[in-house]
Amino acid sequence: PSTQTQIAGFQFNNCLMNAAGVACMTIAELEEVKNSAAGSFVTKTATLEPRAGNPEPRYRDVPLGSINSMGLPNQGLAYYLNYLLDLQNREPERTFFLSLVGMSPDETHTILRQVQESGFTGLTELNLSCPNVPGKPQIAYDFETTEKLLGEVFAYFSKPLGVKLPPYFDIVHFDQAAAIFNKFPIKFVNCVNSIGNGLYVEDETVAIRPKNGFGGIGGEYIKPTALANVHAFYQRLNPAIQIIGTGGVLTGRDAFEHILCGASMVQVGTTLHKEGVSAFARITEELQAIMAEKGYETLEDFRGKLKYLG
Ligand SMILES: CC(C)(C)CCc1c(C(=O)O)[nH]c(=O)[nH]c1=O
């Protein structure tokens, strides 16, 4: 069985890749993912200038997942963009993802304009978990600001662009968010980012230093939320907007479920951090075994075909 896929008309020889933030901070890490069984990679979310991020410990693996409050450490847009421009000359037949964010809506436009003016031919993933003005929630939880921002972006940005979304937990929020995304030429939505502001306690103490221990939760904890967001947007979005499924992928069964719920690509975060890039070959083999057992030749044979109980 084949686990190849396509996003926005770009072909990938495998539907698995890293999630932004994991195994993608440096060129060495990105090369390792590129040369693994993964079909592509996405960079650590880039800001205009390099950032050191929060004091450590800021990421912890825990038995059922992970918690992090990294604070957007990254090498800055130029580092990732220059690497991607060089890579598209070296490997023109492959497509890769650039994740980015502005620390303000204005900075988001500045960074996207630089990408628009560049020769980048890959896919851009705009992280909508970006900070808003103080006193307001992250952009993706502020629907008015999200719509305003996307309207401004698509006035000048013509390269293929998708958005990375935090999880939503209210059906009306799925309706409202999808109604906004359906207004724009967005190529994909990536569901989900970590579940925000969890708290992991070890004996009597928090596990990470920043934010008094509050941080984004990943891993086994979040698969039901991730699958719900993948399927809710699959049900609501214009079919021209594809879904990337992220969250709780440990095995081929988890990847199978993301695709069954509507995902065209599946990203691996916490499991990749714990296991390394060998996870991609393992999960691919497990997915292929499930497909063979069920008689599915391609992902299209079962994508979105989640059955209800009537
Ligand atoms: C949460 C932000 C720091 C605003 C964005 C970067 C980010 C981080 C991070 O760099 O702390 N961690 C996540 O799990 N998801 C993210 O999107």
Q: Supply the pLDDT for residue 132.
A: 86
130: annotated active-site residue: yes
Torsion of CA 41, 32, 5, 229, to 10 degrees: -50
Does residue 143 register a pLDDT over 90?
yes
Spatial separation of the C-alpha atoms in residues 280 and 260, rounded to whole Å: 19
Ligand 1 mutation pick, 45, 103, 191, 267, max ligand atoms within 8 A of CB: 45
Mean pLDDT, rounded, for 109-132: 96
Catalytic residue among 15, 130, 191, 261: 130
Residue for token pair 């989900």: 192
To the question of pTM greater than 0.80 for the whole model, the response is: yes
Q: Could you tell me which of 246, 221, 206, 98 has the C-alpha nearest to residue 162? A: 98
Spatial separation of the C-alpha atoms in residues 284 and 37, rounded to whole Å: 8
Helices in the chain by DSSP H: which ranges? Answer: 27-34, 77-90, 105-117, 143-153, 171-181, 223-236, 252-260, 270-275, 278-294
* Interval between CA 151 and ligand 1 midpoint (Å): 23
Q: What is the DSSP letter of 224?
A: H
Does residue 131 register a pLDDT over 90?
no
Q: Supply the pLDDT for residue 130.
A: 87
Does residue 248 register a pLDDT over 90?
yes
CB 237 within 8 A of CB 243: yes
Share of the chain above pLDDT 90, in %: 98
Does residue 83 register a pLDDT over 90?
yes
Over the range 231-270, which residues count as b (16 or more CB within 10 Å of their CB) and which as e?
A: bbbbeebeeebbbbbbbbbbbbebbbbbbbbbbbbbbbbb
Take atom 1 of ligand 1 and give the residue whose Cα is closest.
129
* Interval between CA 293 and ligand 1 midpoint (Å): 38
* Interval between CA 244 and ligand 1 midpoint (Å): 18
What ipTM was assigned to the predicted interfaces of this complex?
Answer: 0.99
* Closest approach atom of ligand 1 to CA 73: 10
